[in-house]
Structure formats: C-alpha cells, structure tokens
Amino acid sequence: MNGDPTQSAALEALKKVKEAEERARAIIREAQEKVSARIIEDAAEEVERIKQDHFARAKDAAGAKKKDVLDQALKEAEKIRAEAEAESAALRQKAAASMGEAVKKVTQRIKDLLDGGSV
C-alpha cells in the first residue's frame, strides 16, 4: 500500500471483520441446515406416530365391527335353529297323531282281510 500504518491496520481490521462475517454466515447456514434437518426428522416421526395411531384406531374399529357382525350372526343362527326345532317338534306331533290313525286303519283292514272281507 502506500506505507501508512493506520491505513494498513484499518485494512487488516476490515479484512478480519469480513472473515468473521463469512465464518458467522457459515455457522448460521450450518445451524439452519441442522435445524431444517431436525424439523424434517421431527415431522417424519410425527407423521409416523399419527399413521400408527390411525392404523390402531382403524384396527380396533374393524375388530369391534367384526365382533358385532359375528354376534349378530350367532343370534340369527340360534333363532333359525330354534325355529327349525319348533317346526320339527310340530311335525313329529302331527306325524305321531297321524300314525295312530294310520295304525287303526291298517289294523282294521287286516282284521277285515282276516275275517274274509275284501280290501
């Protein structure tokens, strides 16, 4: 330069200030990148937690619905079984009543045949 020590000291100080500013900007950029990365990680973890929570709720709801459907099916099956049993019992009673009359008729015909009558 032109040999002025104050100007040289001022330029040196200015150079150090600019270097310090560059280091500060680099530190700020690095911090922002780290913070951004951490925010992204936190967001991804939160998304995963929310997804798992919704999945668990959906699974519970599906299980409850399945149980309700099975319970309803069992009730319907029991109702149908009871109706079928009642119908079967009624048919047996009707058959038993008819059987007595049929036995009487067959017995009478056999008796008539044995007595020499015609059928």
Name which of 36, 109, 88, 25 is nearest 101 in CA terms: 109
Residue 1 scores a pLDDT above 70: no
Express each pLDDT in 32-49 by its tens digit: 889 989 999 999 999 999
Name which of 53, 75, 57 is nearest 65 in CA terms: 57
- What does the pLDDT read at residue 118? 58
In the block, residue with structure tokens 């150079």 = 15
Determine the longest span between alpha carbons in the chain, in angstroms.
Answer: 163
End-to-end C-alpha distance for the chain, whole angstroms: 152
Q: Can you tell me the mean pLDDT for 64-90?
A: 96
Q: How many CA atoms lie within 13 A of 77 on its CB side?
A: 6
Residues in contact with 113: Cβ distance below 8 Å, sequence separation at least 6, in sequence order: 119
Lowest mean pLDDT, pick from 3-7, 55-59, 103-107: 3-7
Express each pLDDT in 2-12 by its tens digit: 557 777 888 88
